[in-house]
Structure 1
Amino acid sequence: MMSVWLSRLRVAFVFLLLSLLTGAGTVYAYEPSGYGDQEGLRPAALAYGRTVRPGTVSSESLGLIAPGDHGGVDGPDPAPAPQIPVIPQVSPAPAPLSTSDDAAPVDLAADSLTHDEATRTITASGHVELIQAGRILRADEVSYNLETDTVVARGHVVLNEPSGDVHFAEEVELTDKMRTGFVKTLETRLAEGGRFTALTGERTRPDGPIVMQTASYTPCDCQEEGETPGWCLKADEVTYDRERNQIRYKNAKFELFGIPVLYTPYLAHPDGQIKRKSGFLTPGLNFDSELGTVVTPRYYWDIAPNRDLTVGAMLATEKAPVALAEYRHRFTDAEIRLDGSATYSSRTDSIAGRDVPQDEEFRGHLFANGRWDINQTWRAGTNIKITSDDQYLRQY
């Protein structure tokens, strides 16, 4: 018995220590911070939790599900409030919201509630909180139609998604367990960082993309009132597709500190949820006295979780183009990296104190790096560097 209590005390102490370290409800989990890097700390948001306040009404008391199907929200039992009649109109025989097996229960809490049996509509006002299918809705006033499963919320609306995204609005209309709906004056803060603003937003299928009109996106959190982000994208239409981890724009303008600098009729880029994805990388741009203007387009191929390939070209105005490639492969206890380039160009040799251009020929380089963790004590590695001539790397 003593060992059991000691074990429980150790668990409680660890939990308390994590809470003190995180401060704002965040714990840290080990996760690879990048390919070839050491393991690093990456924040992982805790699941949302709440304490049921006095006067809370469960879905069972509202007749939204059959008794015994749902135990209410996690937390302490609500304190009794006999002086406030919650819903005197509720019939003694509660009716289920749906007969399907996947019917999601609903928990509703508010300062005051009214129930219209004729329209099967519940109207809540004052610090309203509604929970259904992992989504949490807060507003000044909420009307919930039991027949159509439609929620209309007005005033300081906040909707927490299971994904961690948080939506702010003045008015929303939600259906299908709050998975679809229409929003006015939308602001969305993504779980991975970043922010949307839009005149309107709409989701037409459960967990589908959100289509926003007259919208903008920025990776800046911009906590201060009226703060201008370092950069943002504004567009006539913005589509946030979480299933594909993609953000798409129509008629987009790129702004730096509020000043438009670039326009494009269409643009798409990954959101911050994924760390790697096949596609074109941002091209490099450089100016060199010998090579001229240099542009380096590259394409990244995510072959597998432990393998990738990057191919590209170095395009210079004064020299022949150079093909580029980099391959990386990680095994259970080893990794290799191959980096190479190739071109067909001339070099300059010094003959009798004079620089003499030579005929064009194949030139290039190959670097090979490998590492093998034999055990916790021993490690073996290799580092091979080959070039066609001693001028190649200095030139390119």
Structure 2
Amino acid sequence: MSFPVSLNTEIWAGKGRLLAAASALAVAASLCSAAMAPVRAQDAQGLTADLAGHVNPNSELLLEASEVTYDFDNDQIIATGDVQVYYDGNTVQAHRIVFDRKSQQLRALGNVIFIEASGNVVRTEEMTLSEDFSEGFARALQIDTTKRTRFLAEKARREGDNVTTIENGVYTVYTKPTNPPNKPPLWRVRAEKIVHNQQEKIIRFENAAFEVYGKPIAWLPFLSMPDPSIKRKSGFLMPYGLVSDKLGYGVTVPYYWALSPHYDMTTTLTPMTKQGLFGDVEYRHRFEAGQVSVSAAGLFQAQPSQFSTPRADDRWRGAVSSSASFSLGKDWTLGWNVTYKSDRAFFRDYSFASFGDNGETSEIFLEGNTDRNALSVRAYAFQLSQEDYEDSDFDANGFSPVGSSLQDKQPLVLPVIDYDYVFADPILAGELSLAANFTSLTRDETDAFSIDGGTTAKFRGVDGTFSRLSLKGDWRRTFIDPLGQSFTPFAYMRGDLFFLASPDADVTALAGETFVGRAMPAIGLEYRYPIIATFDGGNQILEPVAQVVARPDEQRIGELPNDDAQSIVFDTTTLFDYDKFSGFDRAEGGTRLNVGLNYKLQLDSGYYLSGLFGRSYHLAGENSYATPDILGATADSGLAGDLSDYVGSLYLDTQYGVKLGAQARLDKDDFSVNRLQAQASAIYGPVVSSLAYAFLGAQPDVGIDEPREELLGAATLRLEENWRMFGSMRYDLQNSNIVQDGLGVGYDDEGFSLSVSFSEDRSRNDGDSVNRMLYFRVGLRTIGNTQVSSGILN
């Protein structure tokens, strides 16, 4: 016999567990049979509190249903009609739920949805759960995890609130709700048994098969993988293969060691048919105040004669690297990034090393920053990847680069100290800032070359130890008049002190001098007058700019080393710099006027256009750019004459996927192009593309007799929803040849990615005219990535 308790019943079991709810329902049913009156939720809650005082008070249960009845004969509570049970973070939804008081089990029937506290969602037609939801059983179910992975099972059992065992199951991934809901996954793993241990965070597959488009392609007698909800778990990572005429056939097998929540390690072994066993290890440790990593890779080459580059034919080859960053306090950071390799070509020949970059610059640093001041202390060492010169035309007065090592000419820079400070309070109603730099470097061998067969030597660096201390104070103040004109007077004072240890007497005029001082005071004024015009649909700004800087001549040009001011790029980004040298070793002198016209256009539709055009005038004193130093880097800078070249820039953003930018330097006499850089990017429909163009005119004073002109393009074409084609090309217009090119095809969705690409490189100076690479990559979300690369040399 059974009695209906109530329609639209809501019972809140304030003391938790289903036993409490069952007791309340039983009492409610008894009252209902006597008085035939609905039981209010408040009454059921009170009865539950009286009859279930022994239940865990920390758990609560809420039952909602259209109708709840109590079957006296079978001692069962039956809820029907859009039933929902909430308990301890779990939710069960079903058309009908039956609670058997004798077995203490809950059975849900009809479109059952079980949402675990962890967020996993189980869907089935019938499910049996224990009274505390910790154990359960179901047939023909689907489990969706929070990481968008999916289990499909013939039947599944959950035990101990921990282990879920799936029989005749399938593991795969699924797409976001915004994607086509019926789109089948490209891959899946089918197994006789899948065991998901939530405590150990691991999934085990027994007698499994890997399927693609529903067809098995690989049998896996035993497979285990970390739970997708975790990021760190010891185990093998996906291997990948390689094919190379110098290395042979090989396969890379990585193993990840989750040693602790604070440190881990990855070890990798790569056996190769031609070169033997390649080993690679990377250790990472995270501290409360920072982190550090140490990596090492190398091998004993079985066939070193396969390589033609110097030292690449050594038997032992390898590299070690370490990087770190530690917070020493609120504003201080200590760190390093150091790499040592056995030879220059190691990372090119064994590019699959875990830290396979060029590793040319190593540094150790200490830096501190606040809102108004900054201090950094750094040390640098350089280990080149560039091969030595082989052109005898670059011989230079006994400093021939031919047959000598460029590596021996690299300096050790220790230390480089930079300090910047901006005063918080105005000084003379303006802003005052201070800057200081101390640099010391040591070079064992003079770095020299010649552009005319040895007659004239040019020096990138001189042997010995050179130290320089530079101090600079900079003051400025801005006035704006009623018309909107902006006047910014400024002044700076800079002093340099050089310490020269054993300079080469054949290079500089400083033989016998140990300390050399230099000073450079300057005053100036900058004028701007932005003229704003607003029209229907947008606005535009036309702004003339003029800047004059007065100072004495630069001292001792060509007598001092120049290591950090060798790059002179004159364009609109440096047009209004007080000093256009890139470093402290040179100090611009003389009186100079810089003028330009700035234009900006902003349309309401989103289009934005900006441009700047101008030039520089040397008015008085000695032109620092006309007087060469020991390198002669300023001769073709565009600033050597009293009238400089013209410089201009243009930038366009359509806000609809098309962007254009260009920088140009035009000859002061005939407006011919001396330097031009232009780039464009566009997104139009299924096409994403970019194009860059670079031109540099001949610079005979630095040994470049012919212009250099290159075009670089790249594009990606979306073919289908998930398919794409991509390619790139770097073309030397001057010599009419392809420097680099590549072409590939790829597939990407939320669970699978694949790409195949082929590339050619003719820019490497390693004895091979063309380096070709075939690259194949496969990625499976939650399982891993694998790849095969093949190097084919011509």
TM (norm. structure 1) is: 0.72
Find the partner of 1:236 among 192, 195, 199: 192
Equivalent runs, 1:1-396 vs 2, <5 Å:
55-59=9-13, 64-65=19-20, 85=38, 96=51, 99=54, 101=56, 106-203=61-158, 205-221=159-175, 223=177, 224-345=180-301, 347-348=304-305, 361-396=315-350
| Deviation for aligned residue 1:103 | 9.4
In structure 1, the residue corresponding to 2:284 is in which secondary structure? strand
1:341 partner letter: A
Residue pair 2:18, 2:61 contacting (<8 A) in 1 also:
no
Deviations 1:316-341, CA, capped at 9 Å, x for gaps: 11112112111122223332222111
CA distance in 1, matches of 2:298, 2:18: 73
Change (3 A) 1:256 1:98: farther
In structure 1, the residue corresponding to 2:347 is in which secondary structure? helix
TM (norm. structure 2) is: 0.37
Change (3 A) 1:334 1:226: closer
Give the paired residue count. Answer: 325
| Deviation for aligned residue 1:186 | 0.5
| Deviation for aligned residue 1:184 | 1.5
Query: Which ranges of structure 1 fall in alignment gaps of 5 or more residues?
Result: 1-52, 70-82
Number of the residue aligned with 1:9: none
CA distance in 2, matches of 1:66, 1:139: 17
Residue pair 1:64, 1:105 contacting (<8 A) in 2 also:
no
Residue pair 1:123, 1:141 contacting (<8 A) in 2 also:
yes
In structure 1, the residue corresponding to 2:11 is in which secondary structure? coil
CA distance in 2, matches of 1:333, 1:107: 46
2:337 partner letter: N
Change (3 A) 1:355 1:177: closer
Change (3 A) 1:280 1:339: same
Worse-matched range after superposition: 298-307 or 366-375: 366-375
Residue pair 1:306, 1:330 contacting (<8 A) in 2 also:
yes
| Deviation for aligned residue 1:378 | 4.2
Query: Which ranges of structure 2 fall in alignment gaps of 5 or more residues?
Result: 1-6, 25-35, 351-794
CA distance in 1, matches of 2:312, 2:336: 34
CA distance in 2, matches of 1:258, 1:152: 33
| Deviation for aligned residue 1:387 | 1.8
In structure 1, the residue corresponding to 2:151 is in which secondary structure? strand
Deviations 1:8-47, CA, capped at 9 Å, x for gaps: xxxxxxxxxxxxxxxxxxxxxxxxxxxxxxxxxxxxxxxx
2:295 partner letter: D
1:394 partner letter: R
| Deviation for aligned residue 1:105 | 5.0
CA distance in 2, matches of 1:85, 1:102: 27
CA distance in 1, matches of 2:131, 2:321: 56
Change (3 A) 1:385 1:298: same
In structure 2, the residue corresponding to 1:109 is in which secondary structure? strand
| Deviation for aligned residue 1:260 | 2.0
CA distance in 2, matches of 1:163, 1:331: 29
CA distance in 2, matches of 1:390, 1:60: 73
Q: CA RMSD in A?
A: 3.6
| Deviation for aligned residue 1:154 | 0.9
Residue pair 2:18, 2:131 contacting (<8 A) in 1 also:
no
The structure that has the greater radius of gyration is 2
CA distance in 2, matches of 1:63, 1:277: 37
| Deviation for aligned residue 1:192 | 2.9
Number of the residue aligned with 2:493: none
Change (3 A) 1:184 1:276: same
Change (3 A) 1:307 1:146: same
CA distance in 1, matches of 2:70, 2:167: 35
In structure 2, the residue corresponding to 1:110 is in which secondary structure? strand
Change (3 A) 1:355 1:270: closer
| Deviation for aligned residue 1:168 | 0.6
CA distance in 2, matches of 1:373, 1:225: 48
Deviations 1:100-146, CA, capped at 9 Å, x for gaps: 55795543221112112343211111101123333211101111123
CA distance in 1, matches of 2:127, 2:309: 75
Deviations 1:166-212, CA, capped at 9 Å, x for gaps: 11100111124222121021111112321111111112x32131111
Residue pair 2:8, 2:67 contacting (<8 A) in 1 also:
no
CA distance in 2, matches of 1:247, 1:267: 8
